[in-house]
Structure formats: structure tokens, C-alpha cells
Structure 1
Amino acid sequence: MTDYLWTPPPVASVPVRGESRRLPVQRLFFVGRNYHAHAVEMGRPVDKSVEQPFYFTKSPSTLVESGATVAYPPGTQNYHFEMELVVAIGAPGFRVARADAAKLIYGYACGLDMTRRDLQLAARDKGRPWDLGKDVEQSSVISEIVPMPGTVLERGAIALAVNGQVKQQSDLDKLIWNIPELIEDLSKYYHLQPGDLIYTGTPEGVGALQPGDRVTGQVDGVGEIALTVAPAE
């Protein structure tokens, strides 16, 4: 038995619908600019014919379950919501053919990629990493996982509201790179493992939050998600 200097943190995990067991999380991958309208609103249109998907990662320690209340984070004046579909990987895969990508899918969840937008854009404009803008404590919000082994979601409404007012509204069929394409591409660079989560990108309509705001979102056929923003510490 290994003896540590202090108690290591618990394994990051997510509840699973219909299961008493939880899904242990391996890694968090996020797809950047995967809806055309959002890419345009961010000032970076995407031409799929000449571009490839790009990704950033966050620590699993940033995970927080739907329904949580989180403090407005330090160092920002522009704290943004981003509603996303999350793919939960349930089988290992490396250099996976697109036709075989569905074999890696365990299920899906709703997700929020909370972002210090001012810090992200400042870093982007200087050609620096996005970590301070994206890898933010309690910034990877997730609902329960809905098991759908081998199922590829090709369409379904995705939406988000702040204090009951709709801010984001789109459909999964508007993903620039669909789920099999993302799994195929990501597996060129990583040995994908059970417990890897892929946040597939956000539609247009992202915006700033203030303390006291309540965020709610849903993906048809997957579920709902909620978050409340508390005052800064």
C-alpha cells in the first residue's frame, strides 16, 4: 500500500442514469469552434474544407455536477456560459476509423464549459495558451451520463437559458465536425480510454453571467443541466 504525504484527491466521477455505480473520469477534451454561427461570433469563421478540429483540455478537478452553486471566479469581468453535448467514451481506441467510432461511445451528458472570456481572448490575441481562460476551477459542469452504447446522435435541439430567458438555441446537426469525425480525429493523437469525456462545442449566443444568475440547459434525448452563480469569494 502506497504511503502519501497527504491524502490524495478522490477520483473524479459522474453519476450515471439508472446505475448506482459512477463513471470514473479519465480526461476532459473540449472541441473549439464547432458550430459555424459561434465561430463567426468569436471572429474566427471555420472552413471545414481546409481546417481540422482543434482541442483544449481541462483538469478533471474542474468538474462540478449539475445543480451546483459556484462562486463567480477570480480574475475576470466577463464570465461566460457555453452549452454543450458531452460524449462519454466507454472503450479504448487509437487511430479509430470513422466507421468504427460508435463502438467507443458509452453515452452522453449535457455540459457547460464556463469560461473567463476576457482572459481567453487576451491570451488568444497574444498567441498564448488559453489555460487561465478555460481551465478554471468548477468550470466543467456536467449532468448525469445517459448510457447509449454505440449510439451516434446526429440531431437534436440544444438550448440554454439564463434566468428563464433563452440565450442559445441550435441543433446537433449543425456541428461542423460530427461525433464520429471527432472520435476519429482525436484518436489520431491520443489513446482514447474509458472515462474520457468530449465536450463537443457550443452554439452561438454565448454571453456573460452575473452573481445571482441561474443557468439552465437541455439537449433533446439526453437531459437537462443547471447552475447557479454565487458572488465572488
Structure 2
Amino acid sequence: MKTAAIIPAGGKGTRTDLEIPKQFYKVNGKELIVYTLEVFQRSLNIDEIIIAAIPNWIEKLYELSEKYSLTKVSKIIEGGITRQHSVYNALASRQFSDDDIIAVHDAARPLLSQSVLNRVIETAKIGGTAVTAINARDSLFKGDSSVKSYLDRENVFYAQTPQVFRFDILKDAFRKAKLDNFIGTDESMLVLRNGTAVKIVEGSTRNFKVTDREDLEIFESIVYRNKL
């Protein structure tokens, strides 16, 4: 049994209003994606890293892998038109055994802790599935231009990554989605849709996704404050 991290890095980050994809924006002299990759490089539970990237940034990622000694990066492949296609391309890029563990993590979540990573991997090793998530803290409601109904936040979670699965479970979920021409928002949705229960592992508010300019500023302040 081996554990591989798949990092979908094909987003263009339009909501950050940057001239380059946000994952290549430098914070304290280092690209955002490098902070993410270093988490998996340091982990004793990760054997290899596969990156699904924007085609014209693949060469840059090879350069960064060499510069920062990211020796676990085994493949950098072309991403797809959606996150789902990118992860599928990564899964198809090499031969996996059915009992291998696959951890999918957003390139733009650079503050993942080793403790959260370890917990979600160990949970998946035991039961085959695990999704990192945090309990909703704010009041939540459904609506359009006005409030329609409130949701019980006690049973509502914000999904994060890593989302970790045994390869055979993930493979079957992707096969079913492709057969049905279904595009989901993440891997957990595909696995659940295929009839497999997904275990929830407590994440962290610090493990946020850098989506817009405000997120980027928060990440920068954390980096400078903690000298990361």
C-alpha cells in the first residue's frame, strides 16, 4: 500500500485579480503552491505527489520542484477543463493498486497542518474514505433575493481538503460519474453518489482555500507573522 497526493493546480484564480494564476503568486519570495507542496513533502505518510497543472505552467512547476527539493513530485501532468477532469487525468497517469491511498488536496490550501493530514490519511486507511471538514459556525439559510428557510448548522459542515480514499473506491466513483456524464464539486460528492459512506475528519479554520484577494492578504499576514 502506497499513499499518493494529487494536487489539482489548474485553476486560473480570476477572483484574485492577479495577472498570473494565484498558485504561482509569491508570498515572502515563495510561490503559494510551494507552501502547499512542502506540507506533503515533509509528511512521513506521503510516498509521492502528482500535480495536475495548466499546460503552459508545467515547466515552471518542474523548476520549482528542483529549486525547493520537492523530491516526492513524481509526475506533473496536464489538468483538465474542471477539477474533476484534472484529478481523473492524475489518476490515469500511472498504475495504482486497489489498496493504494489517494489524497486529493487543493493547490490553494497552503496552511494544511501535519496533524490534520495524518488524521485524514489514517482514517482512510482504516475505512477507505475520509473527508476533511469543519462544522458550520455561522447561521445558514437558503434563499435567492430573500430568505426562504434556515438550515440546522449542527448538521452542516464546510468541506475542505485533503479528501482521501482507497484507490478502488475512488476509481469506481469516477467511472460512475463518467458513465453518467456527471460533474461534481469534489471527490467526496462522487464517492457518496456512488453509494459509499464518507467519514468526516475534523479540519481547521486555518486550512482555508485562497480564493480571492482578501484570502491572499490573510495568508500573507500569517506567513509574515509566523515567518513561514
User: Which interval holds the TM-score relative to the shorter structure?
Assistant: under 0.3
Q: Give the helix-richer structure, 1 or 2.
A: 2
Q: Give the strand-richer structure, 1 or 2.
A: 1
Larger RCO: 1 or 2 (CA < 8 Å, sep 6+): 1
Q: TM-score by structure 2 length?
A: 0.28
